[in-house]
């Protein structure tokens, strides 16, 4: 967590450093070092900070820049990231530290291969956090050439919103698709399942949905199936 987020949250609440330090269970001197960036905010303190200040996930810090070539850390638990943000499929992991949903979505879409349960949760992120920082997300998805994957996730989220007559969210998501349409990539891709066989690829080319075909993705995921799975 960036030190500025801690300071800004305290000021918005109109708390003194003494008030905040007491609520977080630390000394005022240590809080001062955290706010000036001289000490890093530990995961334990991040969890307490989120509880005390009730900071929405979309307000959590985002990196100012992301690398062009994404290298998977190999140990990233996207299920835990989704669970911490409230995804019911990983509800047992809700105690984990929250990350900004835009950052989680970007990194997940950048993976070559993901567990199917995780990929099903990505449209849920777009739907649930329709007010995330889309300018940051779309810009950095283009940096990594992942705009087609992002657009597909947003398309499914919009379908679910429309099936529920959630017109406000559907409208917001359709607006994002307009921005992504202008940068659609012609190269064929998968929805985070690059390890599929050639036989699977041929099968999906013939049976994928019109939306998946439009975004040049090989996947059998459809919004009508997700609508039943999302609460």
pLDDT tens readout for residues 90-148: 988 876 778 899 999 999 999 999 999 999 999 999 999 999 999 999 999 999 999 99
What's the pLDDT score for residue 2? 67
Instruction: Show the tokens assigned to 153.
Output: 């996730």
Residues 28 and 140 in one domain: no
What's the pLDDT score for residue 125? 96
What's the pLDDT score for residue 78? 94
Angle between helices 167-181 and 134-143 (to 10 degrees): 30
Residues 128 and 27 in one domain: no
Residue 168's H or E segment, with its range, is helix 167-181
Residues 9 and 43 in one domain: yes
Residues 99 and 202 in one domain: yes
Contact yes or no for 156/221 (Cβ under 8 A):
yes
Residues 19 and 116 in one domain: no
Contact yes or no for 57/72 (Cβ under 8 A):
no
What's the pLDDT score for residue 206? 96
User: In the predicted model, is pLDDT for residue 84 greater than 80?
Assistant: yes
Poorest-pLDDT segment among 6-15, 43-52, 145-154, 215-224: 43-52
116 or 231: which leads in pLDDT: 116
Would residue 148 count as lying in a domain? Answer: yes
Residues 124 and 27 in one domain: no
Residues 106 and 216 in one domain: yes
Residues 220 and 107 in one domain: yes
32 Cα distance to chain centroid: 31
Q: CA-CA distance, 56 to 7, in Å (whole number)? A: 16
Q: How far apart are the first and last CA of the chain?
A: 30
Helix, coil or strand: residue 76 = coil
Q: The pTM is what? A: 0.82
Instruction: Show the tokens assigned to 120.
Output: 């099903």
User: In the predicted model, is pLDDT for residue 57 greater than 90?
Assistant: no
Domains in the chain, number: 2
CATH of the domain at 19: 1.10.260.40
Q: Residue 11 is part of which domain span?
A: 3-55
Q: What are phi and psi of 121, to 5 degrees?
A: -85, -10
What's the pLDDT score for residue 230? 75
What's the pLDDT score for residue 95? 65
- Pairing type for strands 189-190 and 217-218 reads parallel
* Mean residue pLDDT across the chain: 90
Residues 16 and 87 in one domain: no
Residues 48 and 111 in one domain: no
Share of the chain above pLDDT 70, in %: 98
Would residue 143 count as lying in a domain? Answer: yes
Would residue 64 count as lying in a domain? Answer: no
Maximum CA pair distance of the chain?
64
Q: CA-CA distance, 208 to 200, in Å (whole number)? A: 11
Would residue 66 count as lying in a domain? Answer: no
Would residue 165 count as lying in a domain? Answer: yes
Contact yes or no for 41/1 (Cβ under 8 A):
yes
What's the pLDDT score for residue 71? 72
Residues 172 and 223 in one domain: yes
What's the pLDDT score for residue 231? 67
């Amino acid at each position: 967590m960036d030190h500025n987020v801690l300071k800004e949250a305290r000021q918005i609440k109109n708390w003194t450093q003494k008030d905040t330090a007491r609520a977080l269970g630390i000394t005022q001197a240590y809080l001062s070092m955290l706010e000036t960036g001289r000490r890093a905010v530990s995961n334990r303190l991040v969890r307490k900070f989120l509880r005390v200040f009730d900071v929405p996930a979309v307000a959590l810090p985002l990196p100012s820049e992301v690398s062009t070539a994404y290298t998977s850390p190999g140990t990233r638990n996207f299920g835990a990231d989704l669970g911490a943000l409230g995804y019911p499929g990983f509800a047992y992991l809700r105690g984990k530290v929250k990350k900004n949903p835009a950052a989680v979505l970007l990194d997940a879409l950048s993976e070559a291969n993901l567990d199917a349960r995780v990929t099903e949760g990505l449209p849920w992120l777009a739907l649930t956090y329709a007010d995330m920082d889309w300018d940051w997300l779309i810009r950095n998805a283009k940096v990594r050439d992942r705009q087609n994957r992002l657009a597909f996730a947003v398309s499914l989220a919009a379908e679910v919103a429309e099936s529920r007559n959630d017109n406000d969210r559907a409208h917001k998501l359709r607006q994002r698709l307009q921005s992504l349409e202008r940068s659609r990539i012609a190269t064929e891709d998968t929805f985070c399942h690059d390890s599929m066989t050639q036989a699977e690829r041929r099968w999906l080319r013939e049976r994928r949905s019109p939306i998946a075909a439009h975004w040049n993705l090989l996947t059998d995921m459809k919004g009508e199936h997700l609508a039943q799975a999302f609460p």
